[in-house]
Amino acid sequence: MNIDDALGSEIHLKIIRFFHENQASIDTPRGVATWIREDRSKVQKALEDLVGLNILIAHRAPSTTGYSYTQANTVLSKIEKFLKRRKGA
Amino acid sequence: MVEELKAGEYQKELFERLRKNIDLKREEECFGACLHQSMWWLVEKKHPKPNDILKAVSSGCPSCSKPENKVCIQDLHNAIQRSAKDKALTKFICKEGKRGFVYPIAQGDALYGYIGACYASEDVSPQILDIFAAFTDTIVKEVQKELELSKLYETVRPRAIALSTVHTVYRLISSTLDLNELLPRIARLSLQIIRANRCSIKLVDSTKKLLLPKATVDLRAKKAILKKVAVGKFAPGKAVKFGRPIRGNNYLATPLIDEDVIGVLTLYDKVDGSPFSAFDQEIMTTLAEQAVIAIKNAQLYKEQEKLTMGAIKALAAIFNARAPGTYLTRASFLRIAMIMGQNLHMNVAELKNLEYAVLLHDTGQLVIPEEVLSKPTKLTGRELELVKEHPSRGVEIIKHIGALKSVIPYILYHHENYDGSGYPKGLKKNQIPLGARIMAVVGAFEAMIIKRPYRVAKSMDEAAEEINKNSGTQFDPKVVDVFMAVAKRKDIRSILEREEYEYR
């Protein structure tokens, strides 16, 4: 999966949109699933895909994993452009 | 709720929703015949000007839309003014003799606009108009409720997300008691929450005059520079001295306060270049409160670990005093066991237990008479029984130390054999805890290469070969494979050789 694939997948896009709108957020798979109203197991898998693409950062602890948004400007601006284009379409 | 919103914004959204409202469209269809096919329209302003009215009705009313019918618009304007004054449904007759009415859209004292109808061929009965007003009121109230809920959702959602973030951060930082892991984690989480480029955590030293750098994460640099800072100097030092956050455009220093100030967490340079805000300060103050609890817990845990290790070393020293240099676990064997544990994917707690168990594994030999332990000839049946009791005797001694509870299975079963031929329980394969299986291999290796009064020591290669020969019978093959790899390591060999010289 690459960034374009992720932006083309509904659940991945919902997660990206959530973190793009709430860039200071750090949340667990359960929390993210609640905010985007999706199934937790699907969200968990998608979150790991996005970590692999450096769109999200995983903060791993024995009891849970917190996910937060990238601070990489190249990734952020690519997503920003995509979301603007999509909103305009 | 409405008061909190800007009135203009609220009015605009209310009318947008009314224009799209399906129930209002149905009302228009249902009342169409009763209201004699009149034209419906909505006017958004409280005090609309004739042009606003013309704009609202021109597409619907054949009379009002005629450019020459300015008077018609004026009639409507007058009716709206009367309706605003009375806050009630107001009827009118336009220049072309058509009938119409205006009904105000209001909530309490606030008036937002009007719904009206015109170009009806006949007068509409008051009963029908009463029903119309009641229906319209219900629809408007529903739309207002929807709008308020939507505004409430927009206000509450970011706060709920922020609260969830605080909760997640708490879970993440409370899940470790290792300061070396905890402090960088707090720094990274702070960077994420505030979207800053650098975070540094400094703790106050014992003199309370210096701040010692403990963790720095810099998103822009591969290697962070760690600097000591005097209390009272620069933003971090001032935050500690005054016990309050110190904020500038490109820095935010938040003191870590327990009963006293124990350190400071400083953020530098927001990613988007904006200055640190009062909101950032609030968030960091909350995070610092959580961080202090986690740091204090980790410090207490470290203290307790030191105490436990002190007690273990004291026990080992007592044991060694009986036969100096003979039974004290050497650093090399502890190191071999720990590397094996890591290679066999033991977690931090299991490794700690393994460390304690290796140091204490033969504590039970304290209760075996010295002459039995150092007997150069074959042991009698009773003597052998005594030796076999040493794991359970060791457990009897250490069970009083609560912190060593989880070490007990490692000590109790470190003489069990993989094929079930060991003691004290004759456990087999995975029934034997992994730590005990590791200790069995390391213990056997130790026993073979250390000189004893009653036998000649083997060389390291001979001992390793003997271990390998007993793989699958006395020892777990998986553990033996890991041991063989570790025993070949140059660093291990040199430590073993050095110790052999020291203990000679």
Q: Say if A35 is an interface residue toward chain B (CB within 8 Å).
A: yes
In this structure, the strands spanning A56-60 and A65-69 are antiparallel
Nearest to B165 among A25, A57, A73 (CB): A25
Chain B residues close to A62, C-beta within 8 Å: 175-176
Q: pLDDT by residue (tens digit) across B254-267?
A: 999 988 999 999 99
- Between helix B490-503 and helix B477-487 the angle, nearest 10°, is 80
Q: Is residue B384 part of a domain?
A: yes
Backbone torsion region of residue A41, taken as left when φ is above 0, otherwise alpha when ψ lies between -120 and 50, otherwise beta: alpha
Tell me, yes or no, whether B228 and B117 share the same domain. no
Q: What percentage of chain A reaches a pLDDT higher than 70?
A: 98
The whole-model pTM stands at: 0.67
Phi, psi of B422 (to 5 degrees): -90, -165
Residue of A nearest to B181 (CA): A61
- DSSP labels, B71-100: HHHHHHHHHHHHHHHHTS-EEEE-TTS-EE
Parent domain of B423: 323-503
The pLDDT of residue B323 is above 60: no
Give the model's confidence band at B165: pLDDT under 50 very low, under 70 low, under 90 confident, else very high: very high
| B309 occurs within a structural domain | no
Return the residue of A nearest to B193 by Cα. Answer: A24
End position of a domain, from candidates B134, B152, B170: B152
| B366 & B397 share domain | yes
pLDDT at B226 over 90: no
Q: Does B150 touch chain A (CB under 8 A)?
A: no
Q: Which residue has the higher pLDDT, B2 or B20?
A: B20
The answer as to whether B307 is a domain residue is no
Which chain B positions have a beta carbon within 8 Å of A23's beta carbon? 195
Between residues B400 and B214, the one the model is more confident about: B214
Domain membership flag for residue B163: no
Cα first-last separation, chain A = 24
C-beta of residue B441 within 8 angstroms of C-beta of residue B475: yes
- CB pairs A-B closer than 8 Å: 66
Give the dihedral sign, CA B443/B449/B452/B454.
Answer: positive
Q: Is the pLDDT reported for residue B277 higher than 70?
A: yes
Residue A27 to residue B168, Cβ atoms within 8 A: yes
**What is residue B1's predicted lDDT score, i.e. its pLDDT?**
47
Choose the mutation target among B171, B176, B197, B276 for the interface with A, i.e. most A CBs under 10 Å.
Answer: B171
φ, ψ at B215 (rounded to 5°): -155, 130
pLDDT of residue B504: 45
CATH number, domain containing residue B222: 3.30.450.40
- The count of structural domains within chain B is 3
Q: Is A82 part of the contact surface with chain B (CB cutoff 8 Å)?
A: no
Using a CB–CB cutoff of 8 Å, tell me whether B299 touches chain A: no
Q: Same domain, yes or no, for B128 and B213?
A: no
According to the model, what pLDDT value does residue A70 have?
93
Taking the C-alpha atoms of residue B337 and residue B292, their distance in angstroms, rounded to an integer, is 35
Q: Are residues B390 and B480 in the same domain?
A: yes
Output the pLDDT for position B362: 80
Give the per-residue pLDDT at A88: 64
Is residue B443 in some structural domain? yes
Whole-number Å distance between alpha carbons of B369 and A47: 62
| pLDDT tens-digit series, residues B139-162 | 999 999 999 999 888 888 888 998
Decide if pLDDT at B62 tops 70.
Answer: no
pLDDT above 90: residue B324: no
Chain A positions touching B197 (Cβ under 8 A) are 71
Is B444 part of any domain?
yes
Q: List phi, psi (to 5°) of B162.
A: -65, -40
The mean pLDDT of chain B is: 86
Across the interface, which of A24, A31, A59 has its CB nearest the CB of B195? A24
Segment B195-205 shows an average pLDDT of 94
| Site from B154, B156, B163, B165 to mutate, A interface, most A CB atoms within 10 angstroms | B165
Mutate to test the interface with A, among B157, B163, B172 (most CBs of A within 10 A): B172
User: Token digits for B427?
Assistant: 């456990």
Which residue did the predictor score with more confidence, B281 or B68?
A: B281
Cross-chain Cβ contact A25/B189 below 8 Å: no
Cβ of B164 within 8 Å of Cβ of A71? The answer is: no
Q: Are residues B139 and B231 in the same domain?
A: no
Helix then strand then coil, in percent of chain A rounded to 5, is 60, 15, 25
Structure confidence at residue B52 (pLDDT): 83
Q: Each residue of B408-451: pLDDT tens digit?
A: 999 999 999 999 999 899 999 999 999 999 999 998 998 888 77
**Residue B171, domain member (yes or no):** no
Residues of A in contact with B219 (CB under 8 A): 71
Ranked by mean pLDDT, which of A46-55, B380-389, B494-503 comes out on top? A46-55
Residues 254-283 (B) with a CB less than 8 A from some CB of A: 271, 283
Task: Determine contact: B191 vs chain A, CB below 8 A.
Answer: yes
Q: Which helix (H) or strand (E) holds B211?
A: strand B210-218
B486 in the same domain as B354:
yes
Where residue B38 falls among pLDDT bands split at 50, 70, 90?
confident
Sign of torsion, CA B422 B428 B429 B430?
Answer: negative
Q: Are B209 and B231 in contact (CB under 8 A)?
A: yes
B326 has pLDDT over 60: no
Residues of chain B contacting residue A69, judged by C-beta atoms under 8 Å apart:
192
pLDDT of B2 reads 45
When CB atoms are compared, the residue of B161, B172, B283 closest to A66 is B172
DSSP states along B102-127: EEEEEETTEEEEEEEEEEESSPPPHH
- What 3-state class would DSSP assign to B440? helix
Tell me the nearest-neighbour CA distance from A61 into chain B, angstroms. Answer: 6
Contact flag A61-B175 (C-beta cutoff 8 Å): yes
Yes or no, beta carbons of B189 and A26 under 8 Å apart: yes
Contacts of B283 in chain A (CB under 8 A): 24
**Contact state of B171 with A63 under an 8 Å Cβ cutoff:** yes
Quick one: B118 and B183 in the same domain? Answer: no
Instruction: Please give the residue of chain A at the shortest CA–CA distance from B220.
Output: A72
Last residue of a domain, one of B152, B170, B194: B152
Q: How far is it, in rounded angstroms, from Cα B417 to Cα B467?
A: 12
**Assigned domain for B168 exists:** no
- What type of residue is B157? R
Are residues B94 and B221 located together in one domain of the fold?
A: no
How many CA atoms, within 13 angstroms, populate the side-chain half-sphere of residue B486? 26
Say which residue, B311 or B3, is predicted with more confidence: B311
Residues B204, B63, single domain; the answer is: no
Q: Which domains does chain A have, with CATH numbers?
A: 3-84 (1.10.10.10)
* Same-domain check for residues B243 and B368: no
Asked if B165's CB is within 8 angstroms of A27's CB, the reply is: yes
Span B301-326, average pLDDT? 77
Q: Which residues of A touch B165 (CB under 8 A)?
A: 24-27
CB contact (8 A) between residue B171 and residue A61: yes
Question: Does B197 lie in the same domain as B120?
Answer: no
Overall average pLDDT of the B222-229 stretch: 79
Per-residue model confidence as pLDDT tens digits over A52-74: 999 999 999 888 999 999 988 88
Note the pLDDT of residue B129.
86
Contact B485, B493 (CB under 8 A): no
What would the mean pLDDT of B490-499 be, rounded to a whole number? 82
B47 and B106 within one domain: yes
* pLDDT at residue B63, as a whole number: 65
- Which has more pLDDT, B50 or B257? B257
Residues with Cβ within 8 Å of residue B15, at least 6 apart in sequence? B42, B44, B112, B113
Q: What is the pLDDT of residues B67-97, one digit of tens each?
A: 666 667 788 888 898 998 888 899 888 777 7
pLDDT at A67: 97
Domain holding B106: CATH number?
Answer: 3.30.450
**Least Cα separation, residue B185 to chain A (angstroms):** 8
Q: Residue B445: which CATH number?
A: 1.10.3210.10
Question: Can you give the pLDDT at residue B67?
Answer: 64
Say yes or no for a CB contact (<8 Å) between A24 and B162.
yes
When pLDDT is cut at 50, 70 and 90, the band that residue B496 belongs to is confident
